[in-house]
Amino acid sequence: MTGPTHGDGSPSAPRAVPAVDPAPWPRGAFERPSLELAPALLGALLVRDGPQGRTTGIIVETEAYAGPEDRASHARAGRTRRTAAMFGPAGHAYVYLVYGMHCCVNVVAEGPDRAGAVLIRALEPVIGVAAMRARRGRTEEPTARLAAGPARLCQALAVDRGLDGHDLTAGTLLWIADATGDMAARIAAGGLVHGPRVGVAYAGDDWGSRLWRFGVRGHPSLSRPFPVES
Partner DNA sequence: ATAGGGATTCTC
Partner DNA sequence: AGAATCCCTATT
Site residues (CB under 7 A) for DNA? 63, 65, 72-75, 77, 80-83, 86, 94, 97-102, 104, 106, 117, 119, 136, 138, 149-153, 197-200, 202, 223
Rank residues 47 and 119 by Cβ distance to DNA and give the closer one.
Answer: 119
What count of Cα atoms within 13 Å lies in the side-chain half-sphere of residue 40? 16
Helices (H) and strands (E) in the chain, counts: 5, 8
The least distance separating DNA from the CB of residue 187, rounded to whole angstroms, comes to: 20
**Helix, strand, coil content of the chain in percent (nearest 5):** 25, 25, 50
Rank residues 22 and 114 by Cβ distance to DNA and give the closer one.
Answer: 114
Rank residues 160 and 178 by Cβ distance to DNA and give the closer one.
Answer: 160
CA 42 to chain centre: 9
The least distance separating DNA from the CB of residue 22, rounded to whole angstroms, comes to: 24
Rank residues 63 and 167 by Cβ distance to DNA and give the closer one.
Answer: 63
The least distance separating DNA from the CB of residue 67, rounded to whole angstroms, comes to: 10
Cα→Cα distances 182→58, 73, 127, Å:
12, 35, 15
Q: Are 121 and 62 in contact (CB under 8 A)?
A: yes
**Angstrom distance (rounded) from CA 48 to CA 18:** 19
The least distance separating DNA from the CB of residue 45, rounded to whole angstroms, comes to: 19
